[in-house]
Amino acid sequence: MRPFTYSRAASVEEAAKTAATTPGARFIAGGTNLLDLMKLQIETPAHLIDVNHLGLDRIEPTAEGGLKIGALVRNTDLAADKTVRRDYAVLSRALLAGASGQLRNKATTGGNLLQRTRCPYFYDTRMPCNKRRPGSGCGALKGVSRSLAILGTSEACIAQHPSDMAVALRLLDAQVDTASADGSRRSIPIADFHLLPGDTPHIENALKPGELITSVTLPRPLGGTHVYRKVRDRASYAFALVSVAAVFAKDGQTRFAFGGIATKPWRTPAADAAASSGAAAVAEAALSDARPTVHNAFKQRLTARTLASLYRQKGA
Looking at residue 21, the DSSP 8-state letter turns out to be: H
Domain assignment present for residue 43? The answer is: yes
Angle in degrees, CA 171, 65, 249, rounded to 5: 40
Domain assignment present for residue 180? The answer is: no
Nearest alpha carbon to residue 265 among 153, 173, 163: 163
Q: Rounded CA gap, 19 and 93, in Å?
A: 34
* Per-residue pLDDT at 152: 98
Domain assignment present for residue 236? The answer is: no
* Per-residue pLDDT at 251: 74
Domain assignment present for residue 12? The answer is: yes
Q: For the whole model, what pTM was predicted?
A: 0.96
How many residues are present in the chain?
316
Its domain, for residue 22, covers 5-52
Domain assignment present for residue 235? The answer is: no
Cα distances from 209 to residues 24, 134, 180, in angstroms, run 10, 18, 9
Count up the domains in the chain and report the number: 1
Per-residue pLDDT of the chain (316 residues; tens, 9 = 90+): 899 999 999 999 999 999 999 999 999 999 999 999 999 999 999 999 999 999 999 999 999 999 999 999 999 999 999 999 999 999 999 999 999 999 999 999 999 999 999 999 999 999 999 999 999 999 999 999 999 999 999 999 999 999 999 999 999 999 999 999 999 999 999 999 999 999 999 999 999 999 999 999 999 999 999 999 999 999 888 999 999 999 998 777 899 999 999 999 999 999 999 999 999 999 999 999 999 999 999 999 999 999 999 998 877 5
* Per-residue pLDDT at 311: 92
CATH of the domain at 15: 3.30.43.10
* Per-residue pLDDT at 253: 86
Domain assignment present for residue 48? The answer is: yes
Q: Rounded CA gap, 160 and 262, in Å?
A: 5
Q: Where are the alpha helices (DSSP H) in the chain?
A: 12-21, 34-39, 75-80, 82-87, 89-96, 101-106, 109-114, 120-123, 165-171, 190-193, 269-273, 279-286, 298-314
* Per-residue pLDDT at 236: 87
Domain assignment present for residue 46? The answer is: yes
Which residues is 217 bridged to in the sheet? Answer: 68, 175
Burial 35-65 (b: 16+ CB within 10 A, else e): eebbeeebbebeebbebeebebbebeeeeee
Domain assignment present for residue 18? The answer is: yes
* Per-residue pLDDT at 107: 98
